[in-house]
Structure 1
Amino acid sequence: MSLTDYLKLNKHKLFENLRKSLPSSIIKTQNVLTVNDGVLFVWDFQDNCVLTLNIKAVHSRNDESIPHQILLPTSSSRFSVELLRANSTNTLLVVAGGSGVLVLELPERCPPYGNFSNNKEIVYCRSHSLDEHLLLSNPSIEVRQVRFHPASPNQTHIMVLTSDNTMRFYNMENSSAVALGVYAVGKRPKGVMPGSKAFFLGLFGETAIDFDFGPPEVDEPSLFDEEKEEDEESSSNEYDRDEESVILRKFNEMKLHGTVIKENAKNVHWPIFLLDGLGAVFVITIDLKNDVTPRVRGPLPTWPAYDQSYTNDACALLCHTSTPPVLSVATINGTISHSIVLPFDDDKENKLRRRNRDLKYSDEPDRAMYTFETLELELGLATTNDLSDYCCPVFLHKDESRVGHYFASHEAGVHAISVPVVENMAQILNGPDDENFMERLVNDSSTVDYVLCTKMATSSKVNPVIGFSVYYNPTSMIALLGKGQLVSMLLLSFTPLPCTYDLLPEDIESFKSPLKKMLSEPFDMQIYKILRQATSQPILKLSGTENLSQQECYELLQRATKVFKEEHFKYYEEAREEIEKRVKVLKMLKNFQTTELQKLMKERQNLQAKAENLAEKYEDIKDKQELFKKRCERLLIMALKAKGEPSDAELQFVDELKSSQKKVEMFITSINKLKNQNKYQEVQMVNWHKEQNKKETGLASVQSQTIKANLQDMTNQISTMMNEITEYKKKLGLK
């Protein structure tokens, strides 16, 4: 199995055809490949269509003959495609470029390969062009970014950012594209540079170039209103705060309030963070249900402020799904800054400054950015110590499989970036109180791995990444290069072993020994933190026409050797020393525990012998107790027999017997009387029937009814008496 073709896609017919149709003029980074729910979508430049393949079926069945499909839009694209993006339900696919946005309606998937529309080779998809006339007729307006709104119930709401500082909102409903709104996110550019299609504001970096959705926020009274009132009262004394104290206070507030949604919460909003070419960040909230025109807030204050040497080349923005949000801002020279967004309190100086500012295009910000680190990406593999001044756009991609992990793709390859602060913040906000939480927050610095290199720093030839996505079953990265190579690599995500907290002592927090950290943190996590600092050597996928000289090859080998020797092996040595320390400590603990175990075994034997003696004594005592019990019973019987006069209980029992005998005799007498009466009644009834038969004329109807009623009553009384007699007999035991 090839390390650079883990999913076995290079030999598939789809990519064999795609390599033949790729234009040779691609020299800049694009993103014409996306993977969603195991389905890969890629743009075919030659036939102007979308090629799709079920990667999950190919990888699980290990079958390269699974057919791919061609998705043909009903209306062809009239622009150069640079971006593909599918919604989470795989019902819509966005095909976007600088001069247009085309939305394809995807049909349902069906077995056996999970393809669309009964596994047809060619599938016609209903397509909708968003504002086609505006984007094609006005070359100065370009599409900068397209994303699906995460709050959309059916994933049909689409946000489009254009170069005229405008956010356009659409919804795909009833097989048609409906424009929901057009929102200005800054000053509308008017003048166009002569001989160019770009606006003046765009050339000066004052237009929005990218946006991303932040974590949802609850529409409720501000979580910090009470704290703000207290701060305003205390600000009358004009005290000074430094930057560190502000950050600590904000985190304390976040830790107190957390992310609990209160009962008075009305709606959930998704803030949108906007980035302009100067590196400034703005915030706007567009509600799907509310028709109120949203206002832009910003620019967000930044501490420390951006260095003016690289504020005019921002190119990408990514918001991590954390609370509070963490923003990653990339520039074309390979610099990525990480900032935490926290609620913002205005002091007097800032309030006066904002009063004088023109609030026509944006409102005052309610949050600020605290930059805690800046990373430098290596844009091209350098064989010498000389720094390269190569610049190119950088695209940021989320990795949903790992918290705080994302990728950066560019013309020189792919970088994997890990930000431990995102995971640490979740532990701080949701974990127990810790006075040293700020130290824990910034203790782990971010790491950058150069995963894939497509350009040498000393060469002008590029092999740009024109498609990048992450496949999650298993987690793998897929990168399509400008020369047709497809790289699919397995991402080894580290999952620490669960800590056996039930084996730890209850008072571990009171320990002040060096073993406290060892017992509280899993050992595999410690080794992982050490090894992840090692600098990795990227996989080279250079341009096919690149011919390196022997000197360049030697320098490349020297660089790789130096990296492994100086920046890689030393961390393995550190890990080895840590393992040896751990082994030594565990041996000492083992010897101590062995000694304690021997003592416990002796105590166990002693306790077992004592238990056996106690068991024998218990059996003897139990036998004697049974013997004494039987002797007491015999003595009691003998004493009762020897007694001449009856006891009170016996006398009471005799009285009860005599009373019962009298009642029985009385009941027998009553029963005999009832029997005699019954016989007499029977004789009378017989005589009466005889007399009735002798009479020639019958009785009147009234008399007959009266007699029948009386006889029925007497019969009922007799039956009742018979039942009572039977019950008495049962009680007295008489037959």
Structure 2
Amino acid sequence: MPVEDSEFSFSHHKVLKDFTSRLPEDNTKCLGLITYGQDIFYLWDGSDYEVHAVNVKRSLRDNIWDEEVVLRPKRRPLFDVECLLLNSSCTLLCLQGSEGVSVLQLPEAYEKESSIDLVCVSLGERLFQGEQHVLRCAKWHPGSPSDSHLVTLTSDEVLRCYNALNGQLLWSSVLSKHAVVPNLNIPSRITLGDTPVNFDFVLPSLTDRDVSSVQWPILVLWGNGNIFRVLTNFSSAKPAVSGPLLMSPPSDDNYGSDASSLIVISSTPPVVVLSTCSGTIYHSVLLTAEEGEEIENPNEVCLCVVESVELDLGLAVGDDDDIVSCPISLVADPVEKSRYYCIHAGGIHSVTVPIVTKLHEFNEESGCDFSSFKTGSLVDYLLSTAVYSRSSYECSPLLGTVFVDLTMSLFVLLSNGKLVNVKVFPKTLYSIQHLNVEKIESSDGKGLQYVIDNYLKDGGITSQPTIKLPSSTSAQAWLEVILRTSQQLATVVKTHEKISFQLESRATAAYRAIEEQKNDVARLQEEKTRLQETAETIAEKYEEMNELMGSLNVRLENIMKNSYGSALGLTQKERNVADSFQVLDKKIQRFDHDLKRIRATYEYQQSTTKETTKALNSNMAFYIDDSKSRSIRKHLKESSNELLTLHRRIEDMKDIMINEGLIK
């Protein structure tokens, strides 16, 4: 439900007070005398032909309500300004009316000067002043490289693109071959709906990096509901016109013969919104035919109508079948892509289109199911400024509406010059987003949000608008509004009681679940304490084992040192054994030395004996008697026995030392 800030401090600004003192006279249609961009609020003052610029952020933050900058065009427009249109970079301000269009070049920075004279470029002056054509629509081109190209639609059924910096015409496209009736007294085709009334841009497929060759499709809406497609670019090539586009499913009245406005919501594929003067809004998806389909032109596009939305163009004080008619202007929300606003003489509606979010999910997630999607659009009546019955329609057309991202609300300038602030809250789409409140489910498996929405729907409860009725509203109409509001509030109370009962039951179940969870938490806390104690015991044992392992490592190191011959730490018996081993080692070394000496002597004797024998044999016979021979043999036998004994003792000592590990 929208909320009006009754203490809206910005409404007390000096600019608005001065504007209230000189309001436009005899205004019968909705205007756009205010706009907003980059924290700056712009207001057109038609009496002095100047624009008042106010820094909203500075005013709300520092409570400054008398500071402004007056922007004066060096060349005044030759027509009555009905709408302000700011480009995306906030460098150019379009002043448009039914009899002309001009562009004001804004300064780069607003100094402390109280007034600034600015260059104002008039576009198509001869077209409006000389040929007396009427401006139907003007919009900034979103693909402009310099953000300075303005596209206009005029009553001669021609679409034109101007460079607003120098007023040069870039291209033009004739939408119809029929001639327009020049005499205004003769009923022209606008009364029959056979003329273009509005247009909007479609994002192109960026297949070429050259900006000048990118084709930007433009959808042009005709009063009879037909939609034409114009392929444009920034080169000198002539735009190609095709249409009317095929509407599916087909309708006898072509979805209304009193179409008034059209916008394209950027998605893949784009969502096209079409409004009619009778209060019906159509949502359709722009589809491109594939090559496999049996059609004449494979590149042909069509519109698949997915739903229609009915709007109340005021508060009804008569029969329910009363029907009123007024143009509806569609304005996209600059922040929330799935939402747009319907501005008309009876007030303002906001419409949230869930299919936009669903298309985004469908493109992001490969497994997203689109076939079962049936959620309808959500409509909120934000502001009501009209009452109607079968015999009359009393309204106060708005002087301007703009969305301010700084406060996430709508600044609405009423016909009496007062500025109201209507808060806009985002819609929660339970069919698209997974909510945390749905964790507590009902017995039928539906979430709490789903149940509440169903109760509200069954009770017939819709959003109640902020009421700003005209001062000429009769007392009978006021009484009817009050009675209907009272009945509506009674229904609201009953429905809210049902919802309250549901909330209480859910709250009781939630409390029980919380108590169970508290018990589980206490049990887990005890388990945690027990585990902590066990962990502490294990840690202490680990420390003890670690200390014991350290001492064992020290002892092992000492043993390893002692095993390699260190005498430190040996007992007396171990020392004695080690000394005996050393003595034996010395003896073995001495015996080995003696054995080597004996072997050398023996070898010497052998060689000497051979030489002596040879000499004796050669010189004379050598004679040894028996006694000497026996003596020599005896002596050699004793020496041989002694050597054999020594050899055995040496081998035994080696075996002992090997067994003791002294040698290897």
Tell me by how many angstroms 1:275 deviates: 0.9
| Residue of 87, 109, 113 corresponding to 1:119 | 113
| CA distance in 2: counterparts of 1:158 and 1:264, whole angstroms | 20
Query: SS of the counterpart of 1:109?
Result: coil
**Contact preservation (8 Å) 2:324, 2:393:** no
| Residue of 383, 388, 395 corresponding to 1:452 | 383
* Residues 311-349 of structure 1, C-alpha deviations (whole Å, 9 max, x = no match): 210000111122221111110111111112222248877
Match of residue 550 from structure 2: 626
| CA distance in 1: counterparts of 2:100 and 2:408, whole angstroms | 32
Q: Is 1:192 aligned to residue 118 of structure 2?
A: no
Query: SS of the counterpart of 1:409?
Result: strand
Query: SS of the counterpart of 1:110?
Result: coil
| CA distance in 1: counterparts of 2:540 and 2:530, whole angstroms | 16
Q: Is 1:271 aligned to residue 261 of structure 2?
A: no
Moved over 6 A (4+): 263-267, 346-349, 512-517, 523-533
**Against the structure 1 CA distance between its residues 6 and 318, is the aligned structure 2 distance closer, same or farther, given a 3 Å change threshold?**
farther
Match of residue 207 from structure 1: 195
Match of residue 374 from structure 2: 442
1:469-508 alignment to 2 at 5 Å? 469-493=402-426
Query: SS of the counterpart of 2:278?
Result: coil
Match of residue 147 from structure 2: 155
**Contact preservation (8 Å) 2:284, 2:303:** yes
Percent of aligned positions with the same letter in both sequences? 28
Match of residue 282 from structure 2: 337
| CA distance in 2: counterparts of 1:608 and 1:500, whole angstroms | 42
1:246-395 alignment to 2 at 5 Å? 269-288=215-234, 290-308=235-253, 311-345=256-290, 351=296, 366-395=300-329
Q: Is 1:14 aligned to residue 15 of structure 2?
A: yes
**Contact preservation (8 Å) 1:164, 1:189:** no
| CA distance in 2: counterparts of 1:56 and 1:109, whole angstroms | 15
Q: Which amino acid aligns with 1:163?
A: S
| CA distance in 1: counterparts of 2:9 and 2:522, whole angstroms | 58
**Against the structure 1 CA distance between its residues 78 and 329, is the aligned structure 2 distance closer, same or farther, given a 3 Å change threshold?**
same
Query: SS of the counterpart of 1:452?
Result: strand
Match of residue 595 from structure 2: none
**Contact preservation (8 Å) 1:282, 1:297:** yes
**Against the structure 1 CA distance between its residues 62 and 530, is the aligned structure 2 distance closer, same or farther, given a 3 Å change threshold?**
farther
Tell me by how many angstroms 1:530 deviates: 7.7
Tell me by how many angstroms 1:171 deviates: 0.9
Match of residue 422 from structure 1: 356
Tell me by how many angstroms 1:170 deviates: 0.9
| Residue of 566, 582, 597 corresponding to 2:521 | 597
**Against the structure 1 CA distance between its residues 196 and 349, is the aligned structure 2 distance closer, same or farther, given a 3 Å change threshold?**
farther
Q: Which amino acid aligns with 2:511?
A: K
Q: Is 1:543 aligned to residue 543 of structure 2?
A: no
Tell me by how many angstroms 1:38 deviates: 2.3
Match of residue 164 from structure 1: 156
| CA distance in 1: counterparts of 2:533 and 2:107, whole angstroms | 79
Query: SS of the counterpart of 1:205?
Result: coil
* Residues 13-65 of structure 1, C-alpha deviations (whole Å, 9 max, x = no match): 32233233223311122222222222222332323333333223222222222
Q: Is 1:561 aligned to residue 493 of structure 2?
A: no
Tell me by how many angstroms 1:577 deviates: 4.8
Query: SS of the counterpart of 1:374?
Result: strand
Tell me by how many angstroms 1:598 deviates: 4.4
* Residues 183-237 of structure 1, C-alpha deviations (whole Å, 9 max, x = no match): 12x213314175537644x3432322111122342227xxxxxxxxxxxxxxxxx
Tell me by how many angstroms 1:94 deviates: 0.9
Q: Which amino acid aligns with 2:398?
A: V
Q: Is 1:404 aligned to residue 392 of structure 2?
A: no
1:565-576 alignment to 2 at 5 Å? 565-566=490-491, 568-569=492-493, 572-573=496-497, 575-576=499-500
Tell me by how many angstroms 1:388 deviates: 2.4
Tell me by how many angstroms 1:418 deviates: 1.7
| CA distance in 1: counterparts of 2:353 and 2:117, whole angstroms | 43
- Unpaired stretches in structure 1, ≥5 consecutive residues: 112-117, 221-262, 355-363, 647-735
Query: SS of the counterpart of 2:243?
Result: coil
**Against the structure 1 CA distance between its residues 282 and 585, is the aligned structure 2 distance closer, same or farther, given a 3 Å change threshold?**
farther
* Residues 97-129 of structure 1, C-alpha deviations (whole Å, 9 max, x = no match): 122111111223234xxxxxx4223x3221111
**Against the structure 1 CA distance between its residues 471 and 627, is the aligned structure 2 distance closer, same or farther, given a 3 Å change threshold?**
closer
Match of residue 84 from structure 2: 84
**Against the structure 1 CA distance between its residues 565 and 214, is the aligned structure 2 distance closer, same or farther, given a 3 Å change threshold?**
farther
**Contact preservation (8 Å) 1:479, 1:488:** yes
User: Which deviates the most, 631-640 or 102-111?
Assistant: 631-640
| CA distance in 2: counterparts of 1:447 and 1:454, whole angstroms | 21
Number of aligned residue pairs: give it: 561
**Contact preservation (8 Å) 1:417, 1:446:** yes
**Contact preservation (8 Å) 1:104, 1:126:** yes
| CA distance in 2: counterparts of 1:119 and 1:387, whole angstroms | 56
User: Which deviates the most, 334-343 or 610-619?
Assistant: 610-619
| CA distance in 2: counterparts of 1:207 and 1:28, whole angstroms | 20
* Residues 637-671 of structure 1, C-alpha deviations (whole Å, 9 max, x = no match): 3332366789xxxxxxxxxxxxxxxxxxxxxxxxx
| CA distance in 1: counterparts of 2:103 and 2:417, whole angstroms | 26
Larger Rg: 2
* Residues 496-538 of structure 1, C-alpha deviations (whole Å, 9 max, x = no match): 99x999x99xxx9xxx9979876xxxx7898789879941222
Tell me by how many angstroms 1:266 deviates: 11
Query: SS of the counterpart of 2:325?
Result: coil
User: Which deviates the most, 328-337 or 446-455?
Assistant: 446-455
Match of residue 574 from structure 2: none
**Contact preservation (8 Å) 2:264, 2:273:** yes
**Contact preservation (8 Å) 1:477, 1:489:** yes
**Contact preservation (8 Å) 1:169, 1:179:** yes
Tell me by how many angstroms 1:6 deviates: 5.3
**Contact preservation (8 Å) 2:262, 2:275:** yes
Q: Is 1:50 aligned to residue 51 of structure 2?
A: yes
Query: SS of the counterpart of 1:373?
Result: strand
Match of residue 64 from structure 1: 65
Q: Which amino acid aligns with 2:479?
A: Y
Tell me by how many angstroms 1:132 deviates: 0.6
Query: SS of the counterpart of 1:542?
Result: coil
Tell me by how many angstroms 1:396 deviates: 1.1
Q: Which amino acid aligns with 1:76?
A: R
Structure 1 length as normaliser, TM-score? 0.69
**Contact preservation (8 Å) 1:105, 1:125:** yes
